[in-house]
């Protein structure tokens, strides 16, 4: 079966309807980009197998990302690095994301929920995505990284833009914004790393600096 991924009308509900119809007929669909795995069990298998590699740099090649901050991000991204290089990086960061490691951040995480709830208390309503789901993760990520909480909104904006590198439509239509977000994030991260070299703390960036 074939999927016309670049069809102009393949958006929103139409996209979900098309995928659901294909799923009833097959577990694998072919497109100009490659293959789409439609079955959950098969998808889980391919995500877990060590025989598969992530096609990040192949995406760069297909869409002509040949220079600039986005290519630099793609080359450095742990998702795009395979084999021993990937295992080395995973071994460095994995201890920061175990259940035990997460426990020490829970007081801060609960405090963020209280902080986000405070201006809403007594109003009788809220818009959950905007009031909680969007700001909460970036506050937690900033804390784990050892970054100022005031930078959390920028982290949210950068991450939303940078992750669009995996969406062909965005790569074709928002390339300039994605490139700019990569450049701004690397400049910000470089400054944070230098601060942690001079003043290490109990955070992920300090741990990685020590490992280096």
Q: List beta partners, residue 165.
A: none
Task: Taking residues 179-196, report their average pLDDT.
Answer: 95
CB 136 within 8 A of CB 112: yes
Task: Taking residues 184-210, report their average pLDDT.
Answer: 92
The full 3-state SS of the chain, as one line of letters, equals CECCCCCCCCCHHHHHHHHHHHHHHCCEEECCCCEEECCHHHHHHHHHCCCCCCCHHHHHHHCCCCCCHHHHHHHHCCCCCCHHHHHHHHHHHHHHHCHHHHHCCHHHHHHHHHHHHHHHCCCCCCCHHHHHHCHHHHHHHHHHHCCCHHHHHHHHHHHHHHHHHHCHHHHHHCHHHHHHHHHHHHHHHHHHHHHHHHCCCCCHHHHHHHHC
The pLDDT of residue 110? 95
The pLDDT of residue 79? 84
**At 121, is the pLDDT very low, low, confident or very high (cuts 50, 70, 90)?**
confident
The pLDDT of residue 194? 95
The pLDDT of residue 8? 84
To which residue do tokens 């979900």 refer? Answer: 16
> Domain locations in the chain?
1-52, 56-211
What is the topology classification, in CATH, of domain 56-211?
A: Cytochrome p450 (1.10.630)
**Nearest-10 crossing angle of helices 135-145, 152-162:** 100
pLDDT single digits (tens) 22-32? 999 999 999 88
Residue 199 pLDDT exceeds 80 = yes
The region that residue 54 occupies, defined by phi over 0 for left and psi between -120 and 50 for alpha, beta otherwise, is: beta
Q: Which of residues 18 and 34 earns the better pLDDT score?
A: 18
Task: Taking residues 98-114, report their average pLDDT.
Answer: 92
Q: Which of residues 103 and 63 earns the better pLDDT score?
A: 103
Residue 202 burial (10 A CB sphere; 0-12, 13-18, 19+): exposed
Task: Taking residues 52-60, report their average pLDDT.
Answer: 80
Percentage of the chain surpassing pLDDT 90?
48
């Amino acid at each position: 079966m074939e999927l016309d991924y670049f069809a102009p009308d393949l958006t929103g509900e139409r996209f979900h309807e098309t995928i659901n119809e294909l799923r009833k007929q097959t577990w694998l669909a072919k497109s100009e980009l490659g293959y789409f795995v439609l079955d959950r069990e098969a998808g889980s298998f391919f995500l877990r197998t060590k025989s598969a590699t992530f096609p990040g740099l192949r995406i760069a090649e297909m869409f002509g990302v040949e220079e600039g901050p986005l290519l630099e991000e793609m080359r450095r991204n742990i998702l795009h690095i395979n084999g021993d290089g990937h295992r080395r990086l995973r071994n460095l960061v994995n201890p920061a994301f175990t259940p035990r490691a997460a426990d020490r951040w829970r007081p801060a995480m609960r405090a963020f929920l209280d902080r986000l709830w405070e201006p809403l208390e007594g109003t009788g309503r809220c818009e959950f995505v905007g009031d909680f789901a969007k700001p909460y993760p970036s506050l937690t990520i900033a804390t784990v990284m050892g970054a100022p909480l005031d930078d959390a909104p920028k982290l949210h904006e950068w991450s939303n833009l940078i992750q669009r590198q995996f969406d062909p439509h965005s790569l074709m239509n928002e390339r300039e914004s994605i490139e700019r977000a990569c450049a701004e994030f690397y400049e910000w991260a470089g400054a944070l790393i230098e601060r942690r070299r001079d003043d290490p703390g109990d955070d992920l960036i300090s741990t990685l600096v020590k490992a280096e």
